[in-house]
């Protein structure tokens, strides 16, 4: 056996490619607002995680340009050594204030924040308990930890309690959930999770990648949304969505952050976020807090889209956020749906197995505050037209 045999035998995508249905790695040759240019064609973007549309905001762009002028293009080292800038510290302090936690620490991506925090905190003899729909970076974080991993059924509190009952009450336990789930667009049942964490002597970490800029006071996330900030031990965020940049962070009690700063390997052994990335987040955070009408518009857009799709007969699952899944069925049909929508001028993300169970494949729409009602109505019309052609509705 040659190590590369698996690569040579990897034909699934080739077949899809030959059928002209391969949907991934599409190069965009413009900035990513509500419209993008792909293959020279203007396309309505319904697959971006930039929920507030800030990646193209003039103030955010200018902040990044100014930071490059002042600090250069990179930090050439880890936060631990030569890679800490004064604006990294400023951002950490502002994020701690925003999330109402004592301290925050930046990571180079959200993925690394989850790896570093989970592997750094969950040691031998500890347990980490995750929702079956948690993000891949949480799953990988548990694999890097030396603790024992337990899973519970998606947002199912009976299943979580059963898992907790099976663990020694005195053992260290970390429950990790997404605040808003990235495939289904539903919200974690944090009030019940907190009740269980208290009953069974556990700690709770919430991945708010998709919740910042979307729910909570001024978009400050799931714990704020449920008024459970104190009881939520660890809040994780990414900068690659509403914060219009790249990077991630963990916010928690000061002693937890101080510990992570010395035990999170993905922090210590990886370069810090660039000056431009950091400055873009600072500007986005400022806008998020000073322009609440953006979040209001995001929700108006979300409700218009979801209501439109529901009245056309689509199944949008349990979604109650700007992530709206549209159930289609077979993987192949989803790939055809995506392609036909693209030909109609609309970009959506296909979600096929194994990311979702077989025959539960879906197209996933993500709304932005900057979409216009006209764009949303256009999308509903096209999604309905193609859905009828493909027999989805
Ligand atoms: N957690 C969740 C729930 C996510 O959706 C993502 C990004 N897809 C991440 C973590 C990773 O964040 P980043 O893109 O900053 O690596």
- Catalytic annotation on 210? yes
Checking if the pLDDT of 18 tops 90, the result is no
pLDDT score at 355? 86
Of 11-15, 147-151, 327-331, 341-345, the one with minimum mean pLDDT is: 11-15
Residue with the larger pLDDT of the pair 100 and 354 = 100
What is the 274 CA–ligand 1 centroid distance (Å)? 18
Regarding the beta carbon of 109 and ligand 1, being less than 6 Å apart is answered: yes
Q: Which one-letter DSSP state was computed for residue 26?
A: P
Checking if the pLDDT of 267 tops 80, the result is yes
Separation CA 72–CA 329 (nearest Å):
49
Average pLDDT over residues 48-77: 98
From 137, 212, 237, mutation site for ligand 1 pocket: most ligand atoms within 8 A of C-beta = 137
User: Architecture of domain 58-290 in CATH?
Assistant: 3-Layer(aba) Sandwich (3.40)
pLDDT score at 266? 98
Average pLDDT over residues 50-61: 98
**Beta carbons within 10 angstroms of residue 237's beta carbon:** 33
Average pLDDT over residues 248-265: 98
Confidence band, pLDDT 50/70/90 cuts, at residue 10? confident
**Beta carbons within 10 angstroms of residue 225's beta carbon:** 21
Residue with the larger pLDDT of the pair 76 and 15 = 76
pLDDT score at 14? 78
What is the 141 CA–ligand 1 centroid distance (Å)? 12
> What's the token pair of residue 127?
């347990």
pLDDT score at 260? 98
Same fold, 20-49+292-389 and 58-290: no
- Catalytic annotation on 262? no
Choose, from 241, 333, 360, 371, the residue flagged as catalytic: 241
Confidence band, pLDDT 50/70/90 cuts, at residue 192? very high
Q: Give the residue among 113, 12, 14, 48 at the shortest CA–CA distance from 371.
A: 48
Confidence band, pLDDT 50/70/90 cuts, at residue 19? confident
Mean pLDDT for the chain overall? 97
pLDDT score at 329? 96
Regarding the beta carbon of 178 and ligand 1, being less than 6 Å apart is answered: yes
Average pLDDT over residues 82-96: 98
**Rg, Å, the chain Cα set:** 21
Q: Give the residue among 19, 14, 23 at the shortest CA–CA distance from 347.
A: 23
From 207, 212, 234, 238, mutation site for ligand 1 pocket: most ligand atoms within 8 A of C-beta = 238
Show Cβ contacts of residue 122 under 8 Å, excluding neighbours closer than 6 positions.
Answer: 128, 142, 145, 146, 147, 172, 174
Checking if the pLDDT of 231 tops 90, the result is yes
Average pLDDT over residues 367-371: 98
Residue 11 backbone phi and psi in degrees, to 5: -110, -15
- Catalytic annotation on 266? no
Checking if the pLDDT of 86 tops 90, the result is yes
Regarding the beta carbon of 207 and ligand 1, being less than 6 Å apart is answered: yes
Checking if the pLDDT of 214 tops 80, the result is yes
Q: Where are the domains of the chain?
A: 20-49+292-389, 58-290
pLDDT score at 367? 98
Let me know if domain 20-49+292-389 sits in CATH 3.40.50.970. Answer: no
Q: Whose CA is nearest to atom 13 of ligand 1?
A: 110
Confidence band, pLDDT 50/70/90 cuts, at residue 15? confident
Checking if the pLDDT of 12 tops 80, the result is no
pLDDT > 70: what percent of the chain? 100
Indicate which atom in ligand 1 lies nearest the CA of residue 239: 15
pTM of the predicted model over 0.80: yes
pLDDT score at 202? 98
Average pLDDT over residues 160-165: 98
């Amino acid at each position: 056996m040659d190590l590369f045999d698996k690569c040579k035998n990897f034909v699934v995508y080739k077949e899809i490619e030959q059928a002209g249905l391969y949907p991934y790695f599409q190069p965009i040759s413009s900035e990513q607002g509500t419209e993008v240019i792909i293959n020279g064609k203007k396309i309505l973007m319904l697959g971006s995680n930039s929920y507030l549309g800030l990646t193209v905001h003039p103030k955010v762009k200018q902040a990044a340009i100014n930071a490059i002028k002042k600090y250069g293009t990179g930090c050439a080292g880890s936060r631990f050594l030569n890679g800490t800038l004064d604006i990294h510290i400023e951002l950490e302090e502002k994020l701690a204030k925003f999330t109402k936690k004592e301290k925050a620490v930046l990571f180079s991506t959200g993925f690394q924040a989850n790896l570093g925090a989970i592997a750094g905190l969950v040691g031998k003899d500890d347990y980490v308990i995750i929702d079956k729909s948690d993000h891949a970076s949480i799953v990988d974080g548990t694999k890097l930890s030396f603790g024992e991993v337990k899973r519970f059924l998606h947002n199912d509190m009976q299943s979580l309690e059963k898992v907790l009952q099976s663990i020694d009450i005195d053992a260290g336990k970390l429950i990790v959930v997404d605040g808003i789930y990235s495939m289904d667009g539903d919200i974690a049942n944090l009030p019940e999770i907190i009740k269980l964490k208290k009953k069974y002597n556990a700690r709770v970490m919430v991945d708010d990648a998709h919740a910042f800029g979307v729910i909570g006071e001024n978009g400050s996330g799931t714990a704020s949304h449920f008024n459970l900030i104190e009881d939520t031990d660890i809040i994780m965020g990414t900068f690659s969505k509403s914060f219009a940049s790249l990077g991630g962070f963990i916010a928690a009690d000061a002693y937890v952050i101080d510990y992570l700063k010395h035990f999170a390997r993905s922090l210590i052994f990886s370069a810090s976020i660039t000056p431009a990335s950091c400055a873009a987040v600072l500007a986005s955070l400022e806008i998020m807090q000073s322009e609440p009408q953006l979040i209001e518009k995001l929700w108006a857009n979300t409700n218009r889209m979801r209501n439109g799709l529901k009245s056309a007969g689509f199944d949008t699952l349990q979604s109650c956020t700007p992530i709206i899944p549209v159930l289609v069925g077979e993987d192949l049909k989803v790939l055809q749906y995506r392609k036909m929508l693209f030909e109609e001028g609309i970009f959506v993300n296909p979600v096929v197995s194994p990311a979702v169970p077989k025959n539960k494949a879906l197209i996933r729409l993500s709304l932005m505050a900057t979409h216009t009602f006209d764009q949303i109505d256009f999308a509903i019309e096209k999604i309905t037209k193609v859905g009828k052609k493909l027999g989805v509705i």
